[in-house]
Chains A and B, each alone.
Chain A
Amino acid sequence: MKSIRTIVAYGTKFFAQYPALLSGYIIYSYLFISMVRLFIKARYFGATLSDAYDIFSALPFMWFLAVALVKVIDYRSKFHDSETRRMNSEIELQTKVTQLNTMHEVVKGLQHQVNNPLAIISLAIGQTKRSVGNNPMVIARIESIEHAANQITSALQKFSESGRYESERIDDVVGSIATIP
């Protein structure tokens, strides 16, 4: 029983892969059976043109059926392929969205951790600036610290903003892509 199932499964798979071969088998089997029938009829009972027509009359329909079968199988396999591609691109997109979400969360956490000491640095700079008066050398040093602190702030801000993304459907077959606005 199991071996029959295996053969049927193999056959289904084989003919799904080569639908023209299946339709060929159907037509030639029908042709072969019809010819045998005509031969037997002619040999033992005598055959007329009308008998030949009766025996082969279904042949054009068989041909039509076989072509239709090829088309249906072909369409199904193409549809299956595009569905698989679409599903794969959806999975890929989901993975990217998850990765971007994780990255965004990490950046947000990092931003919070860095912003706390940066606030202290910024406030200390402001206070020191006021207390040193007009000493140009000290002010220049403080301003270089302030500049470096501002660079950290803007770098973090840029990085955090690049975590913003949106999912955009560009085509039904290709699926969606994640874009950074």
Chain B
Amino acid sequence: MNIMIVDDIKSSRTILEKILHGSFDCSTLSAESGKEALAMLSSQRPDVILLDVIMPNMNGAEFLRILRNKNKWKNIPVVIISGQDERSVLSDFASMEVSGYLFKPFTVQDVEGIMNPILKKISPSLPSANV
């Protein structure tokens, strides 16, 4: 299982990586912008993407639009991470296929609660994290 974290804040990426490694049997990829994530996607295909909304050099919405328009990437589940107002984020992504939302500040349990069903769907034999 391979999870990609796209967030411009390094410490956010680091702590999410630690949590994902601790809770699930997975490897992680991390990118600090949509542009960098797209470059990574050409060589590696993650099973799930955790995507921040506000980032320099291509934000989350632009990245997701490109992702959904490419046949080889359009089925990758994407979880939106945002520190913005819930209503504005939900309306921004209403037209795009999103697997879940994590609104900052969220807890370890929130991450596991969102990731468990997504990962189970991809790999039913995967043991659930202890939520």
**Measured between alpha carbons, how far is A118 from B16 in the docked complex, in Å?**
13
* A:8-32 near B, CB below 8 Å: none
Over the window 95-119 of chain A, the binary record of Cβ atoms lying under 8 Å from chain B Cβ atoms (1 yes, 0 no) is: 0000000000000100111111011
Tell me, yes or no, whether B104 is within 8 Å of chain A by CB: yes
Contact A111 B85 (CB under 8 A): yes
Query: Separation in Å of the A64 CB from the closest CB of chain B?
Result: 64
**Measured between alpha carbons, how far is A129 from B15 in the docked complex, in Å?**
14
**Measured between alpha carbons, how far is A149 from B11 in the docked complex, in Å?**
17
Query: Separation in Å of the B41 CB from the closest CB of chain A?
Result: 24
Contact B85 A120 (CB under 8 A): no
Residues of B within 8 A of A122 (CB): 105-107
Contact B84 A111 (CB under 8 A): yes
Contact B11 A120 (CB under 8 A): yes
* A:71-100 near B, CB below 8 Å: none
Contact B15 A112 (CB under 8 A): no
On whether A121 and B84 interact (CB within 8 A), knowing A112-B54, A116-B9, A116-B12, the answer reads no
Contact A119 B12 (CB under 8 A): yes
Residues of A within 8 A of B16 (CB): 123
Closest residue of chain B to A156 (Cβ to Cβ) is: B105
Contact B105 A127 (CB under 8 A): no
Contact B18 A115 (CB under 8 A): no
Closest residue of chain B to A131 (Cβ to Cβ) is: B22
Tell me, yes or no, whether B2 is within 8 Å of chain A by CB: no
**Measured between alpha carbons, how far is A41 from B11 in the docked complex, in Å?**
109
**Measured between alpha carbons, how far is A113 from B105 in the docked complex, in Å?**
11
* B:1-37 near A, CB below 8 Å: 9, 11-12, 15-16, 18-19, 22
**Measured between alpha carbons, how far is A114 from B9 in the docked complex, in Å?**
13
**Measured between alpha carbons, how far is A85 from B15 in the docked complex, in Å?**
58
**Measured between alpha carbons, how far is A115 from B15 in the docked complex, in Å?**
15
Contact A153 B85 (CB under 8 A): no
On whether A119 and B85 interact (CB within 8 A), knowing A127-B18, A127-B19, the answer reads no
Contact B85 A108 (CB under 8 A): yes
**Measured between alpha carbons, how far is A91 from B106 in the docked complex, in Å?**
42
Closest residue of chain B to A118 (Cβ to Cβ) is: B105
Closest residue of chain B to A149 (Cβ to Cβ) is: B105
Query: Separation in Å of the A5 CB from the closest CB of chain B?
Result: 58
**Measured between alpha carbons, how far is A119 from B104 in the docked complex, in Å?**
5
Question: Lowest 7 CB-CB distances: which A-B pairs, in order?
Answer: A126-B108, A115-B83, A118-B105, A119-B104, A115-B104, A119-B105, A122-B105
